[in-house]
Amino acid sequence: MGEAQENHPEKSDSSGESSSPYIPPYRSPLPGRERLHIQKSNVCSRAYFVVVMVFFHVYILNVIALLLYVHYNNGPGDIVNGDGASASVGDGESPLPHPAAHSRDLNMDVYRQSFSLPRIEGIRVGHVQQVSLMPDRTHKMKTLSLKPLLFEIPGFLSEEECRVVVQLAQLKGLMESQTTAPDGGDEESNQPLLSLNTEEAFSLLDLDQDGLLQKQEIVSHSRSQDGTWLSPDNLRHILAGLEACPAGMLTLEEFRRVYDVSQRPRQQRSGTLQGQVKQRSKHTWLYQGPGSHHVLHTLRNRVTRLTRLPSPLVELSEPLQVIRYEHGGFSNAHHDSSAAHSETTCAHTRLAGNTSALKEVTCRYLTVLIYLNSVEEGGETTFPVADNRTYEEEALVQDGVDLTDTQETCGRGNLRVKPTAGTALLWYNHLSDGRGWMGELDEYSLHGDCLVTRGVKWVANSWINVDPDHQQQARYQRLVTHRRQTESGLDEQYHPLSHSDLHQDL
């Protein structure tokens, strides 16, 4: 017992009874316990580090997702504010080099990653969304179909703007309609296309609207490869009168005297203006670049804002095409663009294209069609297979009737839009390739013009040209930029690039 007490001492109280072993409260921790405390501290630090890193990665992923959302909703390139003002998104986000940045070489890998073509969401048929095309108002855009993706924008142009575009087309010169009735039996087609008085002709020639006509303004309207308003004789008379003026400019009163003299020889040869215009086509092209009428500038800027595409793409596309359909005029159903194949090249990029290609085709990413007047009867734009469940060429012939023949079957089309002055239609001719660029031809974009049964029909087509090969489009962009830089004089201001030989008539 004594030995046990010696090995296990116990503290006795006054009663002599023993108690449990006593450990001092401030006894220093044992070495083992000290290591255990450090080990617990390490575990807490490691867990805290893991939590911090998880939150950090989630934050980075959220930032990347936000940037991608902003990028794909705003679209790359220039953001146009108002009718002409533009602000760059950023140096690294511009999909095409701006004309002012011609000296910068494109890194094709960066270009491939950043260049994309924004597409408007249709949501559903009948959906209406607000679009800002002008600083002081918004327009309503209604989804008409999803196959093709088609929108209607009422009031895209005012009636006055429509009238000016029609007059500019008349001034430029339209060739005679191809649908004129034989033997002159069509009274509507016998009306002269050029019906402008002297004041209207002066206003349209006066590009800067300063009340004075300069030589450059007159010469700019004489350059055309598809029909001119000013013949060589007319031009000589007007320029001779201008040179006779000490100031080298014509006022309205001076222009009235010169203009009347210039028209007299042509009227004496043909009796009326009708003799001249009968030999011209039903369409013309209106240049929209520097030196063009301010209404044409306004129209192009609105197209840029509506489509949300980079301004260089819109600026380097085809000029505005204006078409007049006479009484009895029509166009069979067709596609505005062409399917891409290895043996074809786009007409608009042929300057930088594959010279070994067997055929040139039109490459139009989208179409903006603008009605310039309200047709009295007929003249609807028809989409025969819009929103069909499937598309098969065999289905275009039903009960022996060809749906592409708009003269006979226009009323059987799935969708028809009645022409109303100022209303615009926008549709995509191509699908997306899934990577933000132009993909296959959308076969549902088949469309035509119904027979005009009363009155005439004026429309304007604004096409946005895009090459399915984005590298080819970039090469074309650089080539045109360099070409513009080297031009000088009047050619640089009024005729920087001729598109007339790049177009295919429909």
Segments making up each domain of the chain, as ranges: 75-89+100-166+283-506, 197-281
Residue 394 buriedness (CB in 10 A; 0-12 / 13-18 / 19+): exposed
Rounded CA separation 321/304 (Å): 16
pLDDT band for position 229 (cuts 50, 70, 90) = low
Alpha helices by DSSP H, listed for 366-437, are 406-409
Residue 302 pLDDT exceeds 60: yes
Q: Please report, rounded to a whole number, the percentage of residues in the chain having pLDDT higher than 90.
A: 36
Residue 364 pLDDT exceeds 90: yes
- Of residues 28 and 453, which shows the higher confidence score? 453
- The arithmetic mean of pLDDT across residues 195-206, rounded, is 80
- Cβ neighbours of residue 333 under 8 Å, at least 6 residues apart? 382, 384, 403, 404, 405, 406, 446, 447, 448
**Can you read off the two tokens belonging to residue 424?**
């615009």
Rounded CA separation 314/332 (Å): 27
Rounded CA separation 1/9 (Å): 11
- Cβ neighbours of residue 117 under 8 Å, at least 6 residues apart? 309, 365, 432, 436, 437, 438, 466
Residue 296 pLDDT exceeds 80: yes
Q: Is the peptide bond before 468 cis (omega within 30 degrees of 0)?
A: no
- Of residues 300 and 239, which shows the higher confidence score? 300
Predicted local distance difference test score (pLDDT) of residue 447: 94
Predicted local distance difference test score (pLDDT) of residue 125: 98
Predicted local distance difference test score (pLDDT) of residue 261: 65
Rounded CA separation 133/154 (Å): 12
Give per-residue pLDDT as tens, 13-26: 444 454 555 555 55
Rounded CA separation 135/82 (Å): 5
User: Is the Cβ–Cβ distance between 178 and 171 less than 8 Å?
Assistant: no
Rounded CA separation 83/295 (Å): 10
Q: Which residues are 237's β-sheet partners?
A: none
CATH number for domain 75-89+100-166+283-506, candidates 3.90.1170.50, 2.60.120.620, 1.10.10.1150, 1.10.940.10:
2.60.120.620
Residue 198 pLDDT exceeds 60: yes
Rounded CA separation 338/346 (Å): 9
Predicted local distance difference test score (pLDDT) of residue 403: 86
- The arithmetic mean of pLDDT across residues 427-451, rounded, is 95
Which of 260, 319, 313 minimizes the C-alpha distance to 287? 319
User: Is the Cβ–Cβ distance between 328 and 452 less than 8 Å?
Assistant: yes
| DSSP symbol at 455 | S
DSSP 75-112: -SSEEEETTTEEEE--TTT-SS--GGGTTSPP-HHHHH
Residue 228 pLDDT exceeds 50: no
Backbone angles phi, psi at 134, to 5 degrees: -135, 155
Give per-residue pLDDT as tens, 127-147: 999 999 998 899 999 999 999
- The arithmetic mean of pLDDT across residues 403-424, rounded, is 93
Residue 97 pLDDT exceeds 70: no
User: Is the Cβ–Cβ distance between 415 and 453 less than 8 Å?
Assistant: no
Rounded CA separation 220/228 (Å): 11
Look at 251-260, 351-360, 449-458 and tell me which has the smallest mean pLDDT. 351-360
Which of 303, 299, 329, 306 minimizes the C-alpha distance to 314? 303
Residue labelled with tokens 């083992």: 32
Rounded CA separation 27/45 (Å): 27
Predicted local distance difference test score (pLDDT) of residue 264: 54
Tell me what the pLDDT averaged over the chain comes to: 75
Rounded CA separation 117/314 (Å): 12
Residue 466 pLDDT exceeds 70: yes
Predicted local distance difference test score (pLDDT) of residue 94: 36
Rounded CA separation 297/300 (Å): 5
Predicted local distance difference test score (pLDDT) of residue 203: 86
- Of residues 42 and 167, which shows the higher confidence score? 167
Rounded CA separation 301/354 (Å): 32
Residue labelled with tokens 């009347």: 260
- The arithmetic mean of pLDDT across residues 74-93, rounded, is 37
Look at 189-198, 304-313, 405-414 and tell me which has the smallest mean pLDDT. 189-198
Rounded CA separation 117/466 (Å): 10
Predicted local distance difference test score (pLDDT) of residue 321: 95
Predicted local distance difference test score (pLDDT) of residue 58: 85
Rounded CA separation 503/501 (Å): 6
**Can you read off the two tokens belonging to residue 262?**
């210039």
Rounded CA separation 451/448 (Å): 10
Backbone angles phi, psi at 374, to 5 degrees: -95, 120
Q: Does domain 197-281 have CATH number 1.10.238?
A: yes
- Of residues 67 and 497, which shows the higher confidence score? 67
* Residues 169, 173, 177, 183, CA torsion sign: positive
- Cβ neighbours of residue 345 under 8 Å, at least 6 residues apart? 353, 354, 357, 359, 360, 361
- The arithmetic mean of pLDDT across residues 400-409, rounded, is 84
The model scores a pTM over 0.85: no
Question: What are the C-alpha distances in Å from 462 to residues 179, 317, 363, 364?
Answer: 23, 8, 13, 10
Question: What are the C-alpha distances in Å from 105 to residues 97, 102, 205, 478?
Answer: 9, 8, 40, 9
User: Is the Cβ–Cβ distance between 157 and 424 less than 8 Å?
Assistant: yes
